[in-house]
Amino acid sequence: MENRHGLCVDLKVTSALAAETESAKAILDRQGRKGVRPRTLGADKGYHCKDFVAHLRRHNVAPHIAMIDGRKTPGLDRRTTRHAGYTVSQQKRKRVEEIFGWMKAYGGLRRTMLRGLKRVQLHAYLVGASYNLLRLARLQPLTG
């Protein structure tokens, strides 16, 4: 998700058994091939692990990941979390849940009729594009 306007930038459908961090790495790699180089990445506590934080640091992405109390992770400490941008990222990341909620409620992804990851991925892309079109329509200033 792009923070400024709440648009869906990319998504990946995986098996329920796949690790979220591996999917996030694949999305970052795919965006990198397109020339998109994010400076920060906001995420929930499910992404707070040494491997993922190290991957972000290697790619010069600041990890704005929710911290788990009592867990020490190199690369995710007060040097990162003390900045105002970290606080803003933590507030904005809740918008991602709005996108998922819309896709499930209106896009038919709660209980898809399709079978197979490729078909569901295509369906998710179409639903994501639909969400962005509706979001863009709401962002446009009314002229008249």
- Region 3-24: mean pLDDT is 84
- Predicted pLDDT of residue 68: 80
Q: What would the DSSP string read from start to end of the chain?
A: -BTTTTB--------TTS-HHHHHHHHHHHHHHTT---SEEEE-GGG--HHHHHHHHHTT-EEEEPPPTT--BTTBSHHHHTSHHHHHHHHHTHHHHHHHHHHHHTSS-SS-S--SHHHHHHHHHHHHHHHHHHHHHHHSPP--
The contacts of residue 73 (CB under 8 Å, 6+ apart) are: 48, 49, 50, 53, 67
pTM of the model: 0.74
Of 93, 87, 19, 91, the C-alpha closest to 55 is 19
Evaluate if residue 8 carries a pLDDT over 80: yes
Task: Give pLDDT tens digits for 23-33.
Answer: 889 888 988 89
Evaluate if residue 142 carries a pLDDT over 70: no
d(CA 57, CA 59): 5
Q: Give the highest mean pLDDT range of 50-54, 105-109, 124-128.
A: 124-128
Give residue 83's pLDDT band: very low, low, confident or very high (50, 70, 90): confident
Instruction: Give the type of residue at 62.
Output: A
